[in-house]
Structure 1
Amino acid sequence: MKQELKIQLIDTHAGGDVSRIVTGGIDALPGGSVRAQMEYLRDDADGLRKLLLEEPYGIPEMSVDLLVPPSDPRAAAGYIIMEVMGYPIYSGSNTICTATAVLDAGIVPMKEGKQDFFLESPAGLVRIEARVENGVVEAITCEGLPSYIHTHRASIEVPSIGRVIYSVAYSGGFYALVDAEALGFDLTLDEEQELARAAHRIVEAIQAETGFSHYTLGDVGPLPFLHFMGPVQQVAEGYYRSRSATYVHPGVICRSTTGTGTSARLALMDYEGLIHPGDKLETVSLRETGFIGEFSAIEQEDEYRVVKNNITGKGYVIARSDIVVNCEDSLVDCDGLHHILSSRMSQ
């Protein structure tokens, strides 16, 4: 007799960023909200994140979204976002992927045309609009978190780079926003490794010099992200396009431009008077994929101009599978997993 631990997955991607949607095999987590369940997973069962993002099952460039029961009765499902840097309370690409997966799995019945439903993230309720054509999810539009500029055009001396001008936005996490051309980058795929190295140096320098506090959330930890901005081109009335690249972890440039990176960019363009409510920005990645951010409204919170926005992208289902967790495998660390993994005994 041997113990076999299984996790059910739907692998998806949006803009090239792979999100593994965990649909089964995990026991119910304590907590009266998705946020509380996330905090339990983070503090008492972080082994699941490590298991699915490290060898032999995954790589750091992936993300994981665990489906959990929502606390808000309007939501079809809750989801907890896990990435190599930890547990972000929101992510545009992960939301697009999760929405695609719940439609694919029938958790939300798929209907032709446009349909609306809600998901519950650790940040709260998220409205989803799905566009389905011939049984295929062609686009997902989700609410981005209200975004604002915390710091505008500060400067810092960065080892081996020199003086760097940056702004800081909050859009679900704090982002440093940097002009790519000013650092000599064209934002092409062959620059990916050098972009990651430069971003790491800049983020380390900012972390060493200053911290950032959200006007309601307070201290949310050191600034983790950097968004390289290419030149903005106006391609139609109220429609703009810009090459972009988002750094999230040492050595990792996202394959997509990221939803939260796009939201941060909208906040900066509003702060600088470059866009108005109703305008759209298409961000284009190193791999020529894109998300479309729409600036929907402006609100005033304390001293901050807060940009409400929506992010549109397409998710693709790339695999449906069971992962078999073998705790006897020397590459697998099962510490902290047995109390959340549903187990089966088999021959």
Structure 2
Amino acid sequence: MSRSIPRLRIDAPPAAASAAIEVLDYHTAGEPFRIVVSGYPELAGNTILERRRSALQQHDHLRKMLMWEPRGHADMYGGILVPPDHDEAQVGVLFMHNEGYSTMCGHGTIALATALVESGAIEATRTATPIGIDAPCGLVRAVAHVKESEIAAAHESGRTPRVHEVSFENVPSFAAALDVAIDVPGYGSLTVDVGYGGAFYALIDASQLGIEMHAENAAALAAAGRAITDAGRAALRAGGALATALGVSHPEEADLSFLYGTIISGPPEDPSHHSRNLCLFAEGEVDRSPTGSGVSARLAVLHARGEVQTSQEIAIESILGRESVFHGRVARTELWAGRNAVIPEVRGSAHMTGSARFVLDDNDPIGRGFLVAR
């Protein structure tokens, strides 16, 4: 007869815990998204950008607690729910990662819309449920899609329905610059485009780097992406002709005028797909998904070059290959803030991976968060 084992309690955090935060964890095409459900303090400010500054200036220790080790890792991503600015929006969200707070996150939008329906926070009684999400870059119009058979099955069993996929219309996106030559230490002179899809990205084809777009080359591609991002940011800090040529200037919000990362593209694993992405962003973070804001930026540049037409849908893989895919199209074009812009529509699927209650023990300095250099 086997002996009994002690029964551990998960609802008994240490008495010295100064913070207890509950989260839902999802992934979208392989990229994690940790959603703060409760325990995060109310943020000061009347707008989403003011609350973003409050999170950075007053509560950044909680971002590190949730994103960094030992609870997260260097490539972790998450979101803090806040009141929305726009009347059309049901919720606002601050996106966070290893470095700070991003302005837009497509995979996070897909995961959040999925979680809102699957948790019962927003009721889905039809096959398409519109959800307005306020991001720092503006209003994002998402739609949670549920199969009709799933709605019936969920109703019959008294549970919430499973979301099949989420599509969203992004903010106006545009080609900020085309064919800009930039010297990148270790790689020489490279030619990049710059696209905006809620954040600014340098865009480059992998053929310029001499690196094939395979998962086993992810470290080499990431190193190149970091070098390109660093070179672009250095040029923007220095000012002058190159900074002007890169075009990293948001027409309405100075807070959005920074180079978020680099997207390297190449041939897809599935020949029926358009291409494959590796997105390197923030402080050297590698996106496991095709990157929703990056797909939007690429659509804007491809459309500006005449390589993608309005309403033409393309499938873009991440570095993981054929199973990690976003579908994107230019839904329409418009004149926005004095420039030609496109409204991208991106769709993909997210899945729940777990839930947790994280505590921060006052007597645990390492538990406040750390990252190991890579």
Give the TM-score, by structure 1 length.
0.89
Cα offset for 1:197?
A: 0.8
**Equivalent residues in 2 for 1:177-216, closer than 5 Å:** 177-210=203-236, 211=243, 212-216=248-252
Cα distance, 1:65–1:250 mapped onto 2, change above 3 Å: closer
- CA offsets 1:52-75 (integer angstroms, 9 cap, x no match): 111211112111101122243443
- Select the residue among 179, 191, 194 that pairs with 1:165: 191
Hey, what does 2:20 align to over in structure 1? 6
Cα offset for 1:170?
A: 1.4
Report the AA paired with residue 25 of structure 1: G
Structure having the higher strand fraction is: 1
Hey, what does 1:344 align to over in structure 2? none
How many percent of aligned residue pairs carry the same amino acid? 29
Cα offset for 1:250?
A: 4.7
Secondary structure of the structure 2 residue equivalent to 1:27 = coil
- Select the residue among 47, 51, 64 that pairs with 2:78: 64
Report the AA paired with residue 145 of structure 1: V
Report the AA paired with residue 106 of structure 2: G
Give the TM-score, by structure 2 length.
0.83
- CA offsets 1:69-116 (integer angstroms, 9 cap, x no match): 224344322211111232112111111111111112211013352221
Indicate if the aligned counterparts of 2:249 and 2:258 stay in contact, CA closer than 8 A: no
- Select the residue among 249, 255, 262 that pairs with 2:288: 255
1:103 to 2:136 alignment: no
Hey, what does 1:338 align to over in structure 2? none
Cα offset for 1:303?
A: 6.0
Cα offset for 1:120?
A: 2.0
- Select the residue among 331, 335, 346 that pairs with 2:366: 331
Indicate if the aligned counterparts of 1:266 and 1:281 stay in contact, CA closer than 8 A: no
Report the AA paired with residue 228 of structure 1: I
Cα distance, 1:54–1:302 mapped onto 2, change above 3 Å: closer
1:223 to 2:259 alignment: yes
Cα distance, 1:87–1:333 mapped onto 2, change above 3 Å: same
Cα distance, 1:183–1:11 mapped onto 2, change above 3 Å: same
- Select the residue among 166, 187, 207 that pairs with 1:140: 166
User: Which stretch of the first structure deviates more once superposed, 296-305 or 80-89?
Assistant: 296-305
Larger radius of gyration: 2
Gap regions ≥5 residues in structure 2: 1-13, 151-160, 237-242, 370-374
Hey, what does 1:340 align to over in structure 2? none
Secondary structure of the structure 1 residue equivalent to 2:195 = strand
Cα distance, 1:132–1:175 mapped onto 2, change above 3 Å: same
Structure ranking higher on relative contact order (CA contacts 8 Å, 6+ apart)? 1
- CA offsets 1:240-271 (integer angstroms, 9 cap, x no match): 61111111145432101100110011011111
1:21 to 2:35 alignment: yes
- Select the residue among 327, 330, 333 that pairs with 1:292: 327
Report the AA paired with residue 215 of structure 2: L
Indicate if the aligned counterparts of 1:76 and 1:107 stay in contact, CA closer than 8 A: no
Q: CA RMSD in A?
A: 2.2
- CA offsets 1:204-225 (integer angstroms, 9 cap, x no match): 2222223421222246454231
Secondary structure of the structure 1 residue equivalent to 2:112 = helix
Cα distance, 1:77–1:193 mapped onto 2, change above 3 Å: same
Cα distance, 1:194–1:249 mapped onto 2, change above 3 Å: farther
